[in-house]
């Protein structure tokens, strides 16, 4: 009877503790869901609803999308965005893979230092990095004045360079994790079968990191196609979907077309995100508990080549970051990216003080990489030139 009574006695302490934990978990989930709805889902639904309305708030269905694709000047932003994203994705993943291979598969000195330096672009937004590239490679940049070579940074070339610089650490983190998870038993089997280094790389290394490569490609593609800062600063007249949204909403006050372009931009971004999510799940399924970690090789040639490549990439990253820090600490120590030395001498010879300008000349004469900064002087025909001009 005592055994039966003990078996029926409830454990109230464990049940009360379990109930408290369940309530706290449900409250946190509800709070997180409310934040997601308020800051992510609700704005997206409002943008989607605005894209099917006209300027007067009447429902027009897909008329805005048809007008968007039938307007060549606006529809060109789709092909421009896809082209820039694809080129930047290929270059970023290729450069990051070589860098990650040197960090994980060779015993070159300073691997910890190179790993830290490669993460520096994460600490500045793409807009700031694009400004630094303008200071270095612009029409009056540091490299242009020292060498006399103008690389033509404004346009698609500058956007690709800025996006590669900005997305490099994102791809590197994914590829380092993929290369570090290699199974040494596969390489031992390849060596026992007499496979060469090239064949081992093609039949063992690349298949082992294929999901990491795919994940890095889709992550970089998503980051590039949705970025606004770099194309706005360094893109010039090259229009992409992110800047087209800004031009429609801010420049023309056309919120309907801006919402339409936003919805179109969401399609490739969501597709890339879903594919990356599927790829990551398959990559985790390849990890085996019985796998043996692979030790880096001892080849002198590979170590020297990896050291030289990583040193060049790290020097470029450090140089751009030093330009950012110098411009932040002392903006006057760097040249203006939009003025030549002759125009600066001509301006300095004039009498200081505000000078009235005409309404139509400010946007043309403004040397700032942001023409929108001069928009404040267009409201009157006799106004003072803004500080950016």
pTM: 0.76
For every one of its 389 residues, what pLDDT tens digit does the chain have, with 9 covering 90 and above?
445 555 555 555 555 555 788 888 999 999 999 999 999 899 889 888 988 888 788 888 888 888 888 888 788 888 999 999 999 999 999 999 999 999 998 889 999 999 999 999 999 889 999 999 999 998 888 888 888 888 888 999 999 999 999 999 999 999 999 898 888 888 888 888 888 888 988 888 888 888 889 989 999 999 999 999 999 999 888 989 989 888 888 888 888 888 888 888 888 888 888 888 887 777 665 556 566 777 787 778 888 999 999 999 999 999 999 988 887 666 555 555 555 444 444 444 444 444 444 433 333 344 444 444 444 333 333 333 333 33
**Residue 337: predicted pLDDT:** 57
First to last CA, the chain: 94
How far is the C-alpha of 311 from the C-alpha of 308, rounded, in Å?
A: 5
- C-alpha triplet 77, 78, 83: angle, nearest 5°: 95
CB-based burial of residue 117 (10 Å sphere; 0-12 exposed, 13-18 middle, 19+ buried)? buried
CATH 1.20.120.160 corresponds to the domain 72-333: no
CB-based burial of residue 30 (10 Å sphere; 0-12 exposed, 13-18 middle, 19+ buried)? exposed
Considering all CA atoms of the chain, what is the largest pairwise distance in Å, rounded to the nearest integer? 108
How far is the C-alpha of 163 from the C-alpha of 125, rounded, in Å?
A: 11
**Residue 150: predicted pLDDT:** 87
Q: Other C-beta atoms within 10 Å of 89: how many?
A: 26
Give the start-to-end residue ranges of the domains of the chain: 72-333
């Amino acid at each position: 009877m005592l055994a039966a009574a003990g078996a029926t006695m409830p454990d109230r302490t464990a049940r009360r503790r379990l109930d408290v934990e369940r309530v706290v978990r449900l409250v946190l989930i509800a709070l997180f869901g409310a934040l997601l709805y308020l800051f992510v889902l609700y704005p997206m639904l409002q943008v989607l609803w605005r894209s099917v309305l006209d300027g007067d708030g009447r429902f027009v269905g897909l008329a805005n999308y048809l007008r968007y694709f039938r307007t060549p000047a606006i529809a060109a932003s789709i092909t421009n965005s896809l082209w820039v994203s694809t080129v930047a994705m290929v270059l970023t993943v290729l450069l990051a893979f070589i860098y990650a291979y040197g960090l994980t598969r060779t015993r070159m000195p300073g691997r910890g230092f190179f790993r830290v330096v490669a993460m520096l672009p994460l600490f500045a937004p793409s807009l700031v990095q694009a400004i630094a590239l303008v200071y270095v490679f612009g029409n009056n940049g540091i490299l242009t004045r020292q060498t006399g070579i103008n690389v033509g940074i404004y346009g698609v070339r500058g956007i690709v360079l800025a996006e590669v610089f900005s997305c490099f650490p994102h791809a590197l983190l994914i590829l380092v994790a993929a290369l570090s998870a290699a199974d040494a038993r596969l390489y031992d089997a390849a060596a026992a079968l007499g496979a060469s280094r090239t064949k081992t790389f093609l039949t063992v290394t690349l298949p082992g990191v294929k999901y990491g490569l795919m994940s890095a490609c889709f992550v970089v593609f998503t980051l590039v196609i949705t970025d606004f800062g770099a194309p706005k600063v360094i893109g010039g007249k090259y229009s992409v979907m992110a800047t087209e949204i800004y031009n429609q909403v801010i420049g023309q006050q056309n919120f309907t077309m801006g919402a339409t372009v936003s919805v179109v931009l969401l399609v490739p971004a969501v597709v890339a995100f879903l594919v990356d999510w599927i790829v990551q799940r398959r990559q985790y399924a390849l990890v085996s508990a019985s796998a043996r970690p692979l030790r880096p090789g001892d080849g002198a040639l590979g170590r020297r080549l990896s050291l030289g490549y990583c040193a060049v990439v790290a020097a470029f990253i450090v140089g751009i970051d030093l330009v950012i820090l110098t411009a932040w600490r002392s903006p006057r120590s760097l040249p203006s990216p939009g003025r030549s030395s002759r125009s600066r001498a001509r301006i300095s010879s004039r009498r200081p003080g505000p000078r009235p300008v005409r309404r139509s000349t400010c946007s043309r004469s403004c040397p700032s990489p942001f023409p929108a900064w001069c928009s404040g002087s267009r409201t009157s025909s006799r106004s003072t030139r803004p500080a950016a001009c």
